[in-house]
């Protein structure tokens, strides 16, 4: 409970300091749009290091991560819709350690909005249908009794489907806040991992109803520097408030030139089905990106 309160307090403080807070990562649909628009950006980041008779020491390694972000938006009168497909996958080869995964994400977001007034109201009815999982096996390396790797995740183990509906406040294109009710389905395709994600042993499916809160904020920090942040929570009606799932995601992106960019991701997750501790991921990367659409 203390960890959830601390994480929530931290995010609320961030909200106040930035005038607003984070919510859906789903892309905003500008009021000026009429009809459809699409965008598709792909990227590749990597690193390589090799050493021979190097006095400071070091381990030979090579790493690469590929990413793709496809977005489609639609607006007609009061109704708007956005679709986003995000994929990321990265691996590194470390001398004497073999190949290990460094990044893995498959996420689909569908967002429907309806203005409550004719003249682009700040208040809208919303509905989201989302899905997320990963592509490949994930391991807790060397965590076994004899130093072996322990499998902790795989494709659709877990996989999450969420559907929610409610009221959103969207005063600008770079800020939104919403509250609603929703459903969340957890799928764990591998029965051996059922208990790892809070399911009874041997079960592969769980359906929950709950309350959802979300917010999103983005801003330009400089000519070629931007920051986006989001906060989402799901409180199951069958669990205590202390078991609220919290997802706090941040990314700072700097564009070096037309094709090269650098980014810093810092993510915090609390999900006590998997762990009573806060999950933390920090990734700094430099690479190239291409806008296909």
- Average pLDDT in the 273-293 region? 92
If one counts the domains in the chain, the total is 1
Say which CATH number the domain at 207 has. 2.40.230
DSSP string, 70-81: EEEEEEETTEEE
Question: How far is the CA of 73 from the CAs of 35, 109, 111, 185, in angstroms?
Answer: 8, 12, 10, 26
Domain containing 245: what range?
A: 2-291
pLDDT given for residue 93 in this prediction: 95
Residue 14 has pLDDT above 50, yes or no: no
Sequence length of the chain is 293
- The average pLDDT across 184-202 equals 96
Residue range 130-157: average pLDDT? Answer: 94
Residue 4's pLDDT band (cuts 50, 70, 90): very low
d(CA 282, CA 293): 29
161 strand-pairing partners: 131, 185
| pLDDT (0 to 100) of residue 258 | 86
Structure tokens at 186: 């957890």
The contacts of residue 290 (CB under 8 Å, 6+ apart) are 41, 42, 43, 259
260-279 burial, b for 16+ CB within 10 Å, e for fewer? ebbbeeeebbbbbbbeeeee
pLDDT at 26 over 80: no
List beta partners, residue 179: 167, 213
């Amino acid at each position: 409970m203390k960890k959830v309160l601390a994480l929530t307090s931290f995010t609320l403080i961030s909200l106040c300091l930035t005038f607003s807070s984070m919510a859906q990562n789903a892309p905003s649909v500008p009021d000026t749009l009429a009809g459809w628009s699409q965008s598709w950006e792909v990227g590749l980041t990597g690193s390589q290091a090799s050493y021979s008779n190097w006095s400071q020491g070091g381990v030979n390694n090579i790493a690469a991560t590929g990413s793709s972000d496809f977005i489609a938006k639609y607006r007609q009168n009061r109704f708007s819709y956005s679709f986003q497909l995000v994929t990321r996958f990265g691996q590194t080869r470390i001398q004497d350690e073999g190949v290990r995964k460094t990044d893995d994400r498959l996420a689909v977001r569908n967002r429907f909005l309806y203005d409550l007034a004719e003249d682009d109201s700040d208040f809208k009815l919303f509905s989201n249908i989302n899905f997320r999982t990963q592509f490949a096996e994930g391991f807790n390396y060397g965590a076994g009794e004899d130093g072996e790797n322990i499998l902790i995740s795989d494709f659709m183990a877990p996989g999450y489907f969420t559907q929610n509906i409610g009221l959103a406040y969207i005063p600008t294109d770079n800020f939104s806040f919403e509250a609603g009710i929703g459903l969340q389905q957890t799928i764990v395709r591998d029965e051996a991992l059922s208990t790892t994600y809070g399911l009874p042993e041997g079960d592969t499916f769980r359906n929950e109803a709950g309350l959802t809160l979300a917010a999103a904020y983005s801003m330009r920090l400089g000519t070629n520097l931007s920051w986006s942040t989001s906060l989402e929570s799901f409180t199951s009606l069958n669990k205590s408030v202390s078991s609220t799932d919290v997802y706090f995601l941040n990314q700072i992106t700097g564009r070096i030139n037309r094709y090269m960019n650098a980014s810093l991701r810092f993510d915090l997750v609390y999900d006590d089905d998997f762990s009573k501790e806060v999950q933390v991921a920090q990734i700094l990367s430099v690479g190239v990106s291409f806008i296909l659409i």
